[in-house]
Amino acid sequence: MATTQQKPKLAVWKFASCDGCQLSLLDCEDELLAVAGAVDIAFFPEATRATMPGPYDVSLVEGSITTEEDIERIQMIRQSSTFLVTIGACATAGGIQALRNFKDVKEFVDIVYARPEYISTLEKSTAIGDHVFVDFELRGCPVNKYQLVEVLSAYINGRKPITPSYSVCMECKRRGTVCVMVAHGTPCLGPITHAGCGAICPAYNRGCYGCFGPMETPNTSSLATWWQQLGVQDVDIVRAFRSFNAYSEAFRKEARAHEHQE
Amino acid sequence: MTETTLTQDATVILERAHFQQLLDALLQSGYRVIGPTIEDRAIVYESLSSVEDLPIGWKDQQEGGTFRLEKRKDQALFGYTLGPQTWKKHLYPPNVTLWQAKRENGSFKITPPEEDRQPLAFIGVRACELSAIAIQDKIFLESEFKDPIYQQNREGLFIVAVNCVEAGGTCFCASMETGPKASTGFDLALTEVIDGEKHYFVVNIGSARGLDVIKAITVRTPEAGEVEAAEARIAEASQNMGRTLETEGLRDLLFRNIENPRWEAVADRCLTCGNCTLVCPTCFCATIEDVTDLTGQHAERTRRWDSCFTMDFSYIHGGSVRYSSRARYRQWMMHKLASWVDQFGTFGCVGCGRCITWCPVAIDITEEANIIRQGDVAKTKEA
């Protein structure tokens, strides 16, 4: 039992990201004390300045790899972590910043920065899993805080976390939400998107934005064909697939299929 | 009409003006009354207290992958056909906590969930839906292992059926011989008739409980032609089904076409999203989720609607048995129209058309079955 065993040491790491997924942990409120009671928060700069040296039992990794230093740091984190969990779209798919992967990043740097020579960055923004072995990937932009607690609970209690990889439609139908695509003609990525958010957007009459990335067997081309029948232009299909999970394989390929040479 | 003259086989007329009395009688008898109402531009089945909660003056236009509500020219209470939801939402809820457990003195203590014992009354159950409830009764109540949650919701259920006088764009109950007229399984069955200034319901009484309710409200004897007008409308609906499905030899047809190339074509379109199964009034699969909390002191078991379109559904050691979407669509459709017959003695499809309307890419079970029939391997072998 937790009281007699040594508590697992938890570290939270940040790479290129907006901090939103780390904030989901702090946003747990009701569960936060339970989290603090169940683990030793050994390294979490966003929450506390106190740090403990590694190794760590569980590392939560937020953000994508965008610099040479990142590549070295993630290797170091992997070496000092028993169980490494990536949290969020940046860490699992490269994030919104992976939009650079479709363009020449040097052009951006030249346009955006007054002194481009100060900027040292990689050509592409990539997922943590492209560089080191990842024990568990938690999807979402941001992650769902209940799923985050579920992953920690499962780890602590030695069981498999329940984070189903089927479509958002499963969550939509279970909560009794009327399908926005069928009943309103609103384009929705729900049928090809990984569940986990609880189908929030359709419950507010919006189509799914695909924050959780591709579901287990995403038939993106069939959905895109239907979107075209709903009157969606190719340029907007590209935009829909190129958001937070733009560099995930399924979304990347579908966007490419609708991209026309300028 | 005096109470003493009323018997269970009587047919009576309920005026539209007195419809609220029916709701009030059920509410006063302690039922939670559930029926059609408009939410987010569709018909859903939710709690009702007033006739004004009904979708008065609305109809639905349904096609594959498309549902739209439109204003009717009249003020019909039941002028729509079907929405996305089914009554299983209330009889077999999508998310149920089965039990919670707490560690105590080196062991653990199990707490059952709190039970809501209020009996349910459904208003507006269509004939196809009555058939679907009968099918789920067979699964949950008439097999060796009864489902206590379904049983509790089903026991004491009062059903007010409403016969269809218009067929929807994806309806095919006439093919499945489940409608459009309710023949059994109801306490009361209404047929709505609007004829000029007249707006009334022809009421058939299906049970002693139904008779008791009718005795408590204002009804009258039918005038000449009123019952016939209702029957004529039902007959017309029967002729105007948006879809047809040839059921002759269907089970054998599908079994011998298990390798028909059509399965590949449908797999190209199928999103494996699971919508067809979740809107199906007979689909009954569920999954069990066990979770613990952070302290390891509490555990909880939840039952949720599942779908044969998920990878987890057929996951066994080593992987999912039905990995391809071809295998998953075929499994679902062949269960509905072929293996269900062997398992339960009827088709698992009642012809409500929801899987057609609510498929995000308009895959049509009747079209798929008809195409397989055209490309029947038995025929191609002969040729």
A9-156 has which fold?
Rossmann fold (3.40.50)
How big is chain A by its Cα radius of gyration, in Å?
20
What's the pLDDT band for B2 if we cut at 50, 70, 90? low
DSSP state of B336: I
CB contact under 8 A, B271 and A173: no
CB contact under 8 A, A156 and B294: yes
CB contact under 8 A, B294 and A178: no
C-alpha B35/C-alpha B53 separation (Å) is: 9
Q: Which two tokens stand for residue A221?
A: 């081309």
What's the pLDDT band for A262 if we cut at 50, 70, 90? low
A255 phi and psi, to 5 degrees?
-60, -45
* A184 chain-B contacts, CB cut-off 8 A: 40-41
Concatenated DSSP letters of B243-285: -----TTHHHHHHHTTT-THHHHHHHH-----HHHHH-SS---
C-alpha A55/C-alpha A38 separation (Å) is: 18
A151: distance to nearest CA of chain B, Å? 10
CB contact under 8 A, A153 and B305: no
Residue of A nearest to B85 (CA): A176
pLDDT of res. A29: 84
A148: distance to nearest CA of chain B, Å? 11
B217: distance to nearest CA of chain A, Å? 33
Closest CA to B7 of B158, B167, B214, B145: B214
Q: Could you read off the pLDDT of B218-242 as tens digits, one per residue?
A: 999 999 999 999 999 999 999 999 9
Question: Is residue B9 predicted with pLDDT exceeding 90?
Answer: no
* A198 chain-B contacts, CB cut-off 8 A: none
In this prediction, residues B282-296 reach a mean pLDDT of: 95
A64: distance to nearest CA of chain B, Å? 28
pLDDT of res. B1: 55
C-alpha B286/C-alpha B98 separation (Å) is: 12
Which of A2-16, A159-173, B144-158, B290-304 has the weakest average pLDDT? A2-16
Contact B171, B242 (CB under 8 A): yes
In this prediction, residues B104-128 reach a mean pLDDT of: 93
Q: For chain A, what percentages of helix, strand and coil (3-state, to nearest 5) are there?
A: 45, 15, 45
Amino acid at A239: R
What's the pLDDT band for A30 if we cut at 50, 70, 90? confident
Q: Could you read off the pLDDT of A81-123 as tens digits, one per residue?
A: 999 999 999 999 999 999 999 999 999 999 999 999 999 999 9
pLDDT of res. A50: 87
Question: Is residue B115 predicted with pLDDT exceeding 90?
Answer: no
Closest CA to A250 of A136, A117, A104, A139: A139
- How many other β-carbons are positioned within 10 Å of the β-carbon of residue B326? 18
Q: What is the pTM of this model?
A: 0.96
CB contact under 8 A, A178 and B44: yes
Closest CB to B271 among A176, A182, A222:
A222
Residue of A nearest to B68 (CA): A183
What integer best gives the mean pLDDT of chain A?
95
Closest CA to B309 of B325, B288, B321: B325
* B307 chain-A contacts, CB cut-off 8 A: 166, 170
What is the share, in percent, of chain B residues with pLDDT greater than 70?
A: 98
Query: Residue A202 is inside which H or E element, if any?
Result: helix A200-203
pLDDT of res. B379: 80
The distance in angstroms from the start CA to the end CA of chain A is: 62
- Three-class secondary structure of residue B99 per DSSP: strand
In this prediction, residues B55-71 reach a mean pLDDT of: 98
Contact B68, A183 (CB under 8 A): yes
Question: Is residue B383 predicted with pLDDT exceeding 80?
Answer: no
Higher pLDDT, B194 or A48: B194
C-alpha B382/C-alpha B265 separation (Å) is: 23
pLDDT of res. B269: 98
* B42 chain-A contacts, CB cut-off 8 A: 178, 183
What integer best gives the mean pLDDT of chain B?
96
pLDDT of res. B143: 87
Residues 6 or more apart whose Cβ sits within 8 Å of residue A160:
A154
Q: Could you read off the pLDDT of B174-187 as tens digits, one per residue?
A: 999 999 999 999 99
- Burial of B358: CB neighbours in 10 Å, binned 0-12, 13-18, 19+: buried
C-alpha B180/C-alpha B172 separation (Å) is: 9
Concatenated DSSP letters of A216-261: SS--HHHHHHHHHHTT--HHHHHHHHSSTTTTSHHHHHHHHHTPPP
What's the pLDDT band for B87 if we cut at 50, 70, 90? very high
What is the share, in percent, of chain A residues with pLDDT greater than 70?
A: 97
pLDDT of res. A2: 44
In this prediction, residues B148-169 reach a mean pLDDT of: 97
Residue ranges covered by each domain of chain B: 3-95+115-239, 250-283+308-382
- Beta strands of chain B (E only): which ranges? 11-15, 32-39, 42-47, 58-63, 66-71, 95-104, 107-111, 120-125, 158-162, 188-195, 198-205, 286-292, 298-305, 315-316, 319-320
pLDDT of res. B382: 61
Residue ranges covered by each domain of chain A: 9-156, 168-257
Question: Is residue A195 predicted with pLDDT exceeding 90?
Answer: yes
* A216 chain-B contacts, CB cut-off 8 A: 272, 310-311
B80: distance to nearest CA of chain A, Å? 14
Query: Residue B317 is inside which H or E element, if any?
Result: none
What's the pLDDT band for A4 if we cut at 50, 70, 90? low
B42: distance to nearest CA of chain A, Å? 7
Closest CB to B304 among A174, A190, A223:
A174
CB contact under 8 A, B41 and A178: yes
Question: Is residue A171 predicted with pLDDT exceeding 70?
Answer: yes
Q: For chain B, what percentages of helix, strand and coil (3-state, to nearest 5) are there?
A: 35, 25, 40
Per residue, what are the HEC states of B183-252? CCCCCEEEEEEEECCEEEEEEEECCHHHHHHHHCCCCECCCCCHHHHHHHHHHHHHHCCCCCCCCCCHHH
pLDDT of res. A1: 43
pLDDT of res. B6: 87
Q: Could you read off the pLDDT of B124-152 as tens digits, one per residue?
A: 999 999 999 999 999 999 988 999 999 99
pLDDT of res. B153: 96
